[in-house]
Amino acid sequence: MPSPTARFALHPAFTVGQVHPRLFGSFVEHLGRCVYTGIHEPGHPEADAAGLRQDVLALVRELGVTAIRYPGGNFVSNFRWEDSVGPVADRPRRLDLAWRTTEPNAFGLSEFMAFLKKLGPDAEPMLALNLGTRGVAEALELLEYANHPAGSALAERRIGHGDKEPFGVRMWCLGNELDGPWQTGHKTAAEYGRLAAETARAMRQYDPELTLVACGSSNQGMPTFGAWEAEVLTETYDLVDHISLHAYYEEKDGDRDSFLASAADMDSFIENVVATCDHVGAKLKSDKRIQLSFDEWNVWYQHRFHEQIEAEPLDWPEAPRLLEDHYTVTDAVVFGSLLITLLRHADRVTAACLAQLVNVIAPIMTEPGGPAWRQTTFFPFAQASRHGRGEVLDVRADSPTYRTKKYGEVPLLHTTAVRDPESGAVTVFAVNRSQSETLPLRVALDAGLALTRIEEHSVLSDADPDARNTLEDPERVTPHPGEGAALGADGLTAELEPLSWTMIRLA
């Protein structure tokens, strides 16, 4: 039986891998109010001359996102990139089949790139290509428009539109969720693999150094999961750098114990995709390693969306309120646990996108004409992005367990640690999945780490596990200083509050 105290040891020689900055990416899709009245709201008191909300920009900077995937998502599989460039007054209004809404194209590629520029140097674009209803030719046209300096028809068109300098997009997604029957232009693995290979091959004729992402399964529960990855990678292995993973989690039927253990599913998903990638590589006798782009992940209450649509079917509205989940403390603890899983697999997960950035299942909410505020999930992401850079240490914890209906026996402690190679500082991120009990934690620290003090001890928890931040009470839930942590000859000791996300920074 495991001890009632959770324990692990940290040693500078035992590491998982370096955290890639793209692990802290996000996602902006033309869905609901993510763009319109989220990022972009001309006439708002906080809007700049381009219509970008300065209050939102400040929160996105604080959140610390890096690569931002755009413009979808399901939206991209019916998207014509040409509609989103040039004078706004000349852009056509289009029907978006994915979400049954009307897209005005008032915010497009140029506006998105301007948004990234205002976020700062750490924000980079991750553009998704429409391989649902379009193909190789259109992908090459967008690549030329975006990246060619001057002297070609499409580069000169961009310059004529007011963007003299090329956008320099390095990372491209070859379609979105094309294994899914819901996707416009849904394809079999053979159909998609061939199209993805031809698109990648053509794009590399222009620039061999692009970073390309092939579509993996939309989730681990897809009937074609595994077989899809194997067939797609057999076609594309030497042409792409990443394969994508998407996963969303929600509490169902009141089973909070299983919900709190959602990262067990994410963990197995990652390991199963890694195994498939390496199996294909072995068959092809390749020494190349395909990386993973977990470019959609979050807590998402999908049943609420379906209930909303069933009650009031969409009739082509513009920027309706869709997927606006309001997150609780419990959701934030699960969210933090998912972040821990991504960090624990930093050797293979080298890109990840929190879906989405504003209003739509997002860490940031806005009110049209009104304020912007942080959801509970904002805090674990901001802390991990700021303090989770460096080298992930190999953490193998001995923890008490509890039984779940969905995942069987699961550890109460979910944790990782990241070391800054320059300063030597170590940050421990930990989740206590117990809904009622404090979890004692003991961490043995190798002398080579030379850690002498606790720099910060921050906890996100609440007496009400369903507490949330709202328009009326935007600061109901915030992290608070932890109590009782100590650093001594025997290492670090702490008491993890019930149902909590904890960050302890050691210097």
Task: Locate 50 and state its tokens.
Answer: 């381009």
Q: Which residues pair with 314 in a beta bridge?
A: none
Q: Where are the alpha helices (DSSP H) in 294-412?
A: 302-311, 329-344, 378-387
Q: Is 475 a catalytic residue?
A: no
Of 168, 172, 209, the closest CA to residue 71 belongs to 172
Of 191, 348, 212, 175, the closest CA to residue 276 belongs to 348
Q: For residue 378, give Cα distances in angstroms to 340, 358, 381.
A: 15, 11, 6
Q: Coil, helix or strand for 337?
A: helix
500 sits in which H/E element = strand 500-506
Catalytic residue among 29, 111, 138, 296: 296
Of 307, 332, 334, 308, the closest CA to residue 320 belongs to 308
Catalytic residue among 41, 177, 235, 497: 177
* Alpha-carbon torsion (459, 464, 466, 467), positive or negative: negative
Q: How far apart are CA 11 and CA 3, in angstroms?
A: 22
DSSP string of 262-310? THHHHHHHHHHHHHHHHHHHHHTT-----EEEEEEEEE--HHHHHHHHH
Q: Is 177 a catalytic residue?
A: yes
Do residues 18 and 453 lie in contact, with contact meaning Cβ atoms separated by under 8 Å? Answer: no
Q: Where are the alpha helices (DSSP H) in 120-213?
A: 136-147, 153-160, 189-206
Displacement of CA 91 from its chain's centroid (Å)? 30
CA triple 448-454-458, angle to 5 deg: 130
Q: For residue 94, give Cα distances in angstroms to 21, 78, 80, 84.
A: 35, 10, 9, 11
Exposed, middle or buried by CB within 10 Å (0-12, 13-18, 19+), for 164?
A: exposed
Task: Locate 120 and state its tokens.
Answer: 């700062």
Non-local CB neighbours of 297 within 8 Å, separated by 6+ positions = 245, 246, 247, 248, 266, 338, 342, 352, 353, 354, 355
Task: Locate 324 and state its tokens.
Answer: 């606006």
Of 360, 359, 387, 353, the closest CA to residue 373 belongs to 359
Positions marked catalytic: 177, 296
